[in-house]
Amino acid sequence: MTEQNGPVLVTGANGHLGRRLLRRLVGERELVAVVRSERARAQIEALALTPAPRIAVLEYGDAAALGTAARGCSHAAHLVGILKEGSNSSYTAAHEDSAAALAEAADAAGLARVVLLSILGSRPASSNACLASKGRSETILRDARTPLLVLRVPMVLGEGDFASRALAGQAGAPFAALVRGGASLEQPIYAGDVVDAIVAGITREGLDAVALDLAGPESLSRRALLARAVAVVDGTMPKILPVPFFFNRAAAWLFERLLSDPPLTRAMLGVLDHDDSVDVRPACTRLGIELTTLDETLRRCIPRESSQ
């Protein structure tokens, strides 16, 4: 078994949360950033972290290469995942194959714990292909010898990320097309709070063989979330254009049939329109974290110019 405070392996390190995690841990722990391409390597190098993390470019399903990268590490944060399948990506490869490779690599390296970032609602028996695949990836890592902490989260809002840009765009538009008029329940969590949770999973005791549902402090409708975003930037509420769910589902089906890389799929739509209403107190207590308020999250993530 390696030292408990050894290097941390971060898969999907070039993603929004991965980069935040690297910036958070640099100087506290040695870091091994695992990415899939030279372009992703350049994204890590552009962070100009000191000391610089070791960067491993490999396929996430390559257990041997991942095992080499994990050698000497004490923990891993597994941040690999997709919401939408395309011509060059599949749920099986992104979730299950990467989980199987990491399970093998973690066991071989003797890691103290793997922290897996998953999605609220993930379970192997889910009728949603994305959530079912994520659920199977949890099972694969849970069946390994290496202790596992699963963190299931909903929509994540962070400065400059896709979800925040999309919400800002709606907040600044005269019209907003919302599925079912924005009736689905959202419980967005600040990206910094997710990073706090991952760090707790790396540093805190008593989190082996644990799965936690974590979300933001408020559950509210998508329409109400949009209104809150408009309010924090002193904007004007756009006129809501309700879009029937069946229309979006039919459009997604058509995209899947006609395009090799559809902009929307039925599985993706099911995840995005999922009702989230979670009691976050148990997870926050176990992790020892405090959540950022929704209004403060929106102030950080939705620029005021989005209302102009």
Average pLDDT, the chain: 94
What Rg do the C-alpha atoms of the chain give, in angstroms? 19
Q: What is the largest CA-CA distance in the chain?
A: 59
Instruction: Tell whether the model's pLDDT for residue 223 goes beyond 50.
Output: yes
**Which pLDDT value is given to residue 264?**
87
* CA 42 vs CA 51, 55, 104, 174: distances in Å: 16, 10, 28, 38
* CA 75 vs CA 23, 97, 113, 189, 196: distances in Å: 17, 19, 5, 24, 15
**Which pLDDT value is given to residue 2?**
47
Burial class (CB in 10 A: 0-12, 13-18, 19+), 174: exposed
Q: pLDDT (tens digit, 9 = 90+) per residue, 260-290?
A: 888 889 998 888 888 999 999 999 999 999 9
DSSP 3-state of 281: helix
Q: pLDDT (tens digit, 9 = 90+) per residue, 28-56?
A: 999 999 999 999 999 999 999 999 999 99
In the chain, the percentage of residues whose pLDDT exceeds 90 is: 83
Q: Where are the chain's structural domains?
A: 8-159+188-219+276-291
H-assigned helices in 117-221:
129-142, 162-171, 191-203
Q: pLDDT (tens digit, 9 = 90+) per residue, 81-92?
A: 999 998 788 999
Q: pLDDT (tens digit, 9 = 90+) per residue, 119-156?
A: 999 999 999 999 999 999 999 999 999 999 999 999 99
Distance CA 59, CA 36 (A): 6
**Which pLDDT value is given to residue 246?**
86
CB 262 within 8 A of CB 256: yes
**Which pLDDT value is given to residue 60?**
97
Distance CA 224, CA 219 (A): 10
- Does 3.40.50.12780 match the CATH number of domain 8-159+188-219+276-291? no
